[in-house]
Amino acid sequence: MPEQVFGSNYVVLETLGEGSFGVVYLCQDRRLDRRVALKVLKPERADADELRRFLAEARRLASLNHANVVQVYDVDEAVPYMVMEYFKGRTLREIPKTPPLPLEKSLRIMIQVARGLKAVHDVQVVHRDLSTNNIMVDDDDRAKVFDLGLARDLERISITDTDVIKGTPKYMAPEVIDGHKATFASDIFSFGVILYELVTGRHPFEAEHHMSTLYNIVDKPHPPVSQLVPGAPPVLASLIDHCLVKDPQQRLTDLTLIAKRLQSVLDLPNLPSISETMSASPIAPHSAVRPKNPYLNRVMLKRASDFYGRKQEIKRIYSRLNATPPGSVSVVGDRKIGKSSLLNYVYMKRNREQYLEDHESTIMVYVDLQQQKDMALETFVNTVLGIANLELRGRLDVSACARDLSGVREMVERLHGSGVRLVLLMDEFEAITANPNFDLEFFSFLRYLANHYDVAYLTSSARDLQQLCHTKEIRDSPFFNIFTPLPLSVFRLEEARELIRVPSAVWGQPLEAYEHQILDIAGLFPFFLQVACSHSLEYIEEDSKRELGFEEVRRRFYEEARLHYRFMWSTFDEHERSTIRRVAEGRRIPDSLQHVCEELQRKHYVESQGGVMRLFSSCFKGFVDTEVSARQRRPWLTRLFNPGGES
């Protein structure tokens, strides 16, 4: 195979990586007998103006020789490509963050980054793409900034493109997300995000969805460092705050001062004890680190590859959204049944492209209402318009719409005029229906939009929406008539088997042989199946040579599941508890409780096998037996005045 050569001197040895804007090769420089990194700009991703800027900045960078900047050796206009110093190391993103990096190491790295970025700014170049992907660190903790001066025109970036989101946008400054030109101050904001991540272990504006993250960058304050890491030095926390100021005019931009302040923290005589205190703080693991055990997730599933089951429900939702006009769906189910994961799966771009008949003419706005019980109407409107503006980037600018319901209507009218449908996803919608800040007029407005435009709503809630309204007037309003209810319950048996078999087989330790035991302790509830499979794999991982001791797995499962059983028990009324106790003890269900038993069967807490009633799980039966025994041991006065209370 003939060798690939650039400019007669640079022989390609291997491909180091490929991104949206270029390909990076490891090359041998035949003239100077050294290895170099050569980045070829993809011509289809740059217009003439961007190419001129790329070449101009490359020439300026070629004059820069700094210990903390990957040096540019050569540039070619015809191809075009840039030849750079080959620096062997790992990107900051590739360095494991679990456990978190020691504070001293993080400070030394970021001091070097500040100095390198200062040198770049001194030659009048804005990095535009500073992120953990563009900081290289070698085994001696020497850090270099690279991927400099590349054109990053936000209008040309698909914000919904997963690969792009993982790299650039979550480090973008708010003014850049809003469509303004990147400046030196924008690089400082990106620097502050990276520093915040290293100190706290999490992104300062993290959210369940990338659009929500971008909205948070623009409109939400970051949690104080001291709140997440109480032992962090105040001077460090203050420095991060100054780097993350929303207004670029007010942001700290003196990189020399930033480096000095970081050095002052590094020089603190009690830094070792501070670092030890911070290490003991409950820092969240870095989002880029994925645990080996595929069943460890206890929250909303964020990756399509982690999602199993619910094929019928997905088909029903998309069939409603594909209707003309699109129909609204209300997903209703108990806690931990997978409502948020289902909404997120429907929202994922790849699934929209697969299931929506005209995905290019449909935008989805996902509003996460968890922990938003006191949300103001203004906040809701700002969130919807802000996320919609990001979703529409490069297609339709709705940033000038008034920040009230009239502005939402204006946006919808403009979408309608452009032939674009709007699907508004609202997770835990009871945070709105039960919130007195949202009156009847608000719900009438939502109904009006759905009736007159191509607008649909996909909501999730723990109970039927009309049971969760803060006034009778709202509960009796026709707003709720626009929804098709979609009850979300336990997995079907084939879905449960798939969840047990597939991830464990991919992981390398199939659990199919233990399927019966797992179903016995977990039932068909997806959350409890996750817990049971997780403990099964952990037991095997401890000693791969031993057989799976299921009594030990059962004990570990019960220890974790018991807290959730207690919550479930607290949600049952006395009639439901009485019925569950009778089933657990094998007693007959009286006629007066038959309707209760039927409702518990509908929710799959109680099952009928061969005409015999049983609880959904042997471990849940053990929990109920314990509750019955504990209740019988309580003093008779306690049982009299608190007959349904927990022990």
- DSSP symbols for 317-350: HHHHHTSSSPPEEEEE--TTSSHHHHHHHHHSHH
CA 364 to chain centroid, in Å, comes to: 16
Instruction: Identify the CATH number of the domain defined by range 5-85.
Output: 3.30.200.20
At 150 the pLDDT is 46
CATH of 572-641, one of 3.40.50, 1.20.120, 1.10.3470, 1.10.10: 1.10.10
How far apart CA 69 and CA 113 sit, in angstroms, is: 8
Taking 70 as the threshold, does the pLDDT of residue 155 lie above it?
no
More confident residue, 116 or 626: 116
Residue partners of 188: CB distance under 8 A and separation at least 6? 243, 251, 252, 253, 255, 258
At 642 the pLDDT is 55
How far apart CA 102 and CA 278 sit, in angstroms, is: 9
Say which CATH topology domain 90-279 has: Transferase(Phosphotransferase); domain 1 (1.10.510)
Q: Contact 145/130 with Cβ under 8 angstroms?
A: yes
Taking 70 as the threshold, does the pLDDT of residue 23 lie above it?
yes
* Residue 80, preceding peptide bond in cis (omega within 30° of 0): yes
Taking 90 as the threshold, does the pLDDT of residue 319 lie above it?
yes
Residue pLDDT, tens place only, 588-645 = 999 999 999 999 999 999 999 888 999 999 999 999 998 756 655 556 555 545 554 4
At 370 the pLDDT is 81
**C-alpha dihedral sign at 313, 315, 318, 320:** negative
Residue pLDDT, tens place only, 232-251 = 899 999 999 999 999 999 99
Burial of 385 by CB count in 10 Å (0-12 exposed, 13-18 middle, 19+ buried)? buried
Write down the residue that tokens 């980045």 correspond to.
39
Residue partners of 305: CB distance under 8 A and separation at least 6? none
Taking 70 as the threshold, does the pLDDT of residue 438 lie above it?
yes
Residue pLDDT, tens place only, 504-549 = 998 888 999 999 999 999 999 999 999 999 999 988 888 766 666 7
Residue partners of 64: CB distance under 8 A and separation at least 6? 71, 72, 119, 120, 123
Using only the alpha carbons of the chain, give its radius of gyration. Answer: 29
Q: Residue 338 corresponds to which amino acid?
A: G
310-487: same fold as 5-85?
Answer: no
Kindly state the average pLDDT of the residues 183-212: 89
> Residue by residue, what is the 3-state secondary structure of 51-118?
HHHHHHHHHHHHCCCCCCECCEEEEECCCCEEEEECCCCEECCCCCCCCCCCHHHHHHHHHHHHHHHH
More confident residue, 491 or 544: 491
Point out the least confidently predicted range of 98-107, 185-194, 335-344, 429-438: 98-107
Active site residues: 129
Kindly state the average pLDDT of the residues 322-339: 95
Domain ranges of the chain: 5-85, 90-279, 310-487, 493-566, 572-641
Q: And the tokens for 500?
A: 């047990």
Taking 90 as the threshold, does the pLDDT of residue 136 lie above it?
yes
**C-alpha dihedral sign at 282, 287, 289, 294:** positive
Write down the residue that tokens 């330790």 correspond to.
509
Burial of 41 by CB count in 10 Å (0-12 exposed, 13-18 middle, 19+ buried)? buried
At 525 the pLDDT is 96
Kindly state the average pLDDT of the residues 436-449: 96
For the chain, give the mean pLDDT. Answer: 86
Taking 60 as the threshold, does the pLDDT of residue 647 lie above it?
no
Predicted TM-score (pTM) of the model is 0.70
Kindly state the average pLDDT of the residues 157-168: 38
What percentage of the chain carries pLDDT values higher than 90?
59
How far apart CA 301 and CA 341 sit, in angstroms, is: 5
Give the N- to C-terminal CA distance of the chain in Å, as an integer. Answer: 76
The SS3 assignment for 190 reads: helix
Residue pLDDT, tens place only, 286-307 = 444 445 689 988 888 878 888 9
More confident residue, 394 or 512: 512
Instruction: Identify the CATH number of the domain defined by range 310-487.
Output: 3.40.50.300
Q: Contact 10/83 with Cβ under 8 angstroms?
A: yes
How far apart CA 489 and CA 244 sit, in angstroms, is: 43
How far apart CA 123 and CA 251 sit, in angstroms, is: 21
